[in-house]
């Protein structure tokens, strides 16, 4: 009897102890973020500054490069000589063409004199018409020979001028593809000259976003090395096909009077703000995914308890996601979402908003 009463007393004490432990369970502190929906979304795309116009320069004749007057980054003027090939063979070709012309002119002089003699004899009745016609044809053939030799000389002299490579416009050397001493074929690229007066920001935009981009759309362009330096621009061209590997399309944005700091090859970020439905960007650690549903934990400030709220994800990446149906001022838990329970008491940890 005494043992039974003792056991009952022990059980009663244990039960009271458990109830006391439940009542004194500590309130969990949480990290949180106060939702502030944005009605504009900013898109940024990294790219480079490139010229709108550039051209590859090449010699028109075969030859060995004997000089190159410029290097990458050098400024050139229209008509300036930038490289030259050995002109020896071209000089010899000009000399040969001049000799051929002199020979043709001598033949024409002889044929003309012969034609005049034969005509005099024909007038005197000393030769037949056939003999005179032959002399006349000889003169005409010699005249054609002179014209042919003159054309050959003009061509040889033109080709002699091709020994020097000149820039077609004011610009900057963006690439050098041949060195002094190298033998280059006609049409083989020696260097590339880019016009520096019209510059463009060139960026690659994902296929999933290209539908929001159109020709003429304005962009703000920021120089990455100096974010305070900016320029405005408009989309000039959108590639008709996407890159098979990256699934992006190349977009060219013409810059409006950019500062000199926007040098060719400089890295830039092209940004644009697009009106959207109100949405909130949250860290990926706030997202709870269970049973095919996406939700977040929200805190009721009145009761200091948490509850789940399903969210519509507009966009996401490895670090954050954008939810489109969270009201302004909602307190969203941003960490430890897998260890909370519906209705659990929490408290805002001091300095924990993020």
Residues 115 and 216 both lie in one domain:
no
Check the CA dihedral 84-85-91-97 and report its sign: negative
Q: Which is higher by pLDDT, 72 or 30?
A: 72
Query: Is the pLDDT confidence value at 42 over 80?
Result: no
Does any domain span residue 80?
Answer: yes
**pLDDT range class, residue 352, cuts 50, 70, 90:** low
Q: Which is higher by pLDDT, 211 or 61?
A: 61
Separation of alpha carbons 108 and 139, rounded Å: 6
Share of the chain above pLDDT 70, in %: 89
3-state helix, strand and coil shares in percent for the chain, rounded to the nearest 5: 30, 40, 30
Task: Please tell me the predicted confidence (pLDDT) of residue 177.
Answer: 95
Does any domain span residue 21?
Answer: no
pLDDT tens for residues 281-340? 899 999 999 888 999 999 998 899 999 999 988 878 888 888 878 888 899 999 889 889
Does any domain span residue 129?
Answer: yes
Separation of alpha carbons 94 and 152, rounded Å: 9
Most confident of 30-34, 76-80, 209-213, 311-315: 76-80
Q: What CATH number has the domain bearing residue 63?
A: 2.40.50.100
Does any domain span residue 346?
Answer: yes
User: What stretches of 125-223 adopt beta strand conformation (E)?
Assistant: 164-166, 171-176, 183-184, 189-194, 199-206, 218-223
Provide the 8-state DSSP code for 345: B
Does any domain span residue 203?
Answer: yes
When pLDDT is averaged across residues 127-141 and rounded to a whole number, the result is 92
Share of the chain above pLDDT 90, in %: 64
Residues 260 and 282 both lie in one domain:
no
Task: Please tell me the predicted confidence (pLDDT) of residue 2.
Answer: 38
Task: Please tell me the predicted confidence (pLDDT) of residue 23.
Answer: 52
Query: Is the pLDDT confidence value at 92 over 90?
Result: yes
Reading across the β-sheet that carries 164-166, which strands appear in turn?
164-166, 81-85, 63-68, 183-184
Task: Please tell me the predicted confidence (pLDDT) of residue 292.
Answer: 86
Query: Is the pLDDT confidence value at 353 over 50?
Result: yes
Does any domain span residue 324?
Answer: yes
When pLDDT is averaged across residues 53-75 and rounded to a whole number, the result is 94
Task: Please tell me the predicted confidence (pLDDT) of residue 1.
Answer: 39
Q: What CATH number has the domain bearing residue 219?
A: 2.40.30.170
Task: Please tell me the predicted confidence (pLDDT) of residue 6.
Answer: 43
What is the pLDDT of the chain when averaged over all its residues?
87
Residues 157 and 99 both lie in one domain:
yes
* Close Cβ partners of 115 (under 8 Å, ≥ 6 residues apart): 132, 135, 136, 138, 139
Separation of alpha carbons 167 and 56, rounded Å: 10
CB 280 within 8 A of CB 319: no
Its domain, for residue 348, covers 27-38+278-353
CB 315 within 8 A of CB 322: yes
Query: Is the pLDDT confidence value at 54 over 70?
Result: yes
Q: Which is higher by pLDDT, 38 or 50?
A: 50
Q: What angle do helix axes 129-161 and 88-124 make, rounded to 10 degrees?
A: 160
Task: Please tell me the predicted confidence (pLDDT) of residue 162.
Answer: 94
Q: Is 250 helix (H, G, I), strand (E, B) or coil?
A: strand
pTM: 0.57
Query: Is the pLDDT confidence value at 56 over 70?
Result: yes
How many domains is the chain partitioned into structurally? 4
Task: Please tell me the predicted confidence (pLDDT) of residue 320.
Answer: 87
Task: Please tell me the predicted confidence (pLDDT) of residue 348.
Answer: 77
**Phi, psi (degrees; rounded to nearest 5) at 128:** -85, 165
Does any domain span residue 7?
Answer: no
Residues 238 and 296 both lie in one domain:
no
When pLDDT is averaged across residues 124-140 and rounded to a whole number, the result is 91
Query: Is the pLDDT confidence value at 117 over 80?
Result: yes
Task: Please tell me the predicted confidence (pLDDT) of residue 13.
Answer: 46
CA distances from residue 151 to 61, 96, 160 in whole angstroms, order as listed: 18, 13, 14
**Phi, psi (degrees; rounded to nearest 5) at 22:** -65, -40
Residues 82 and 172 both lie in one domain:
yes
């Amino acid at each position: 009897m005494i043992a039974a009463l003792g056991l009952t007393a022990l059980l009663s004490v244990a039960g009271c102890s458990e109830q006391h432990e439940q009542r004194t369970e500590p309130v969990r502190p949480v990290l949180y973020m106060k939702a502030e929906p944005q009605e504009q979304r900013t898109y940024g795309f990294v790219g480079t500054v490139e010229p709108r116009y550039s051209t590859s320069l090449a010699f028109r004749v075969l030859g060995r490069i004997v000089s190159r007057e410029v290097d990458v980054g050098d400024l050139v003027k229209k008509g300036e000589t930038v490289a030259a090939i050995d002109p020896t063979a071209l000089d010899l070709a000009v000399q040969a063409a001049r000799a051929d012309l002199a020979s043709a002119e001598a033949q024409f002089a002889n044929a003309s004199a012969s034609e005049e003699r034969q005509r005099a004899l024909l007038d005197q009745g000393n030769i037949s018409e056939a003999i005179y016609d032959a002399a006349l044809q000889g003169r005409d053939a010699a005249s054609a020979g002179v014209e042919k030799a003159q054309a050959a000389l003009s061509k040889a002299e033109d080709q002699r001028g091709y020994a020097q490579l000149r820039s077609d416009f004011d610009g900057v050397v963006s690439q050098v593809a041949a060195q002094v001493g190298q033998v280059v074929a006609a049409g083989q690229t020696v260097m590339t000259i880019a016009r520096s007066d019209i510059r463009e920001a060139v960026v690659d935009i994902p296929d999933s976003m290209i539908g929001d981009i159109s020709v003429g759309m304005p962009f703000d362009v920021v120089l990455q090395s100096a974010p305070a330096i900016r320029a405005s621009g408009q989309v000039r061209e959108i590639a008709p096909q996407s890159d098979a590997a990256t699934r992006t399309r190349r977009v060219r944005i013409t810059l409006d009077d950019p500062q000199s700091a926007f040098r060719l090859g400089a890295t830039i970020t092209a940004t644009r703000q697009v009106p959207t439905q109100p949405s909130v960007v949250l860290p990926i650690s706030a997202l709870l995914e269970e049973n095919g549903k996406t939700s977040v934990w929200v805190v009721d400030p009145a009761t200091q308890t948490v509850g789940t709220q399903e969210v519509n994800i507009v966009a996401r990446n490895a670090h954050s996601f954008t939810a489109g149906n969270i009201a302004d001022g909602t307190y969203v838990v941003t960490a430890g979402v897998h260890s909370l329970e519906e209705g659990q008491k929490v408290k805002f940890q001091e300095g924990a908003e993020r």
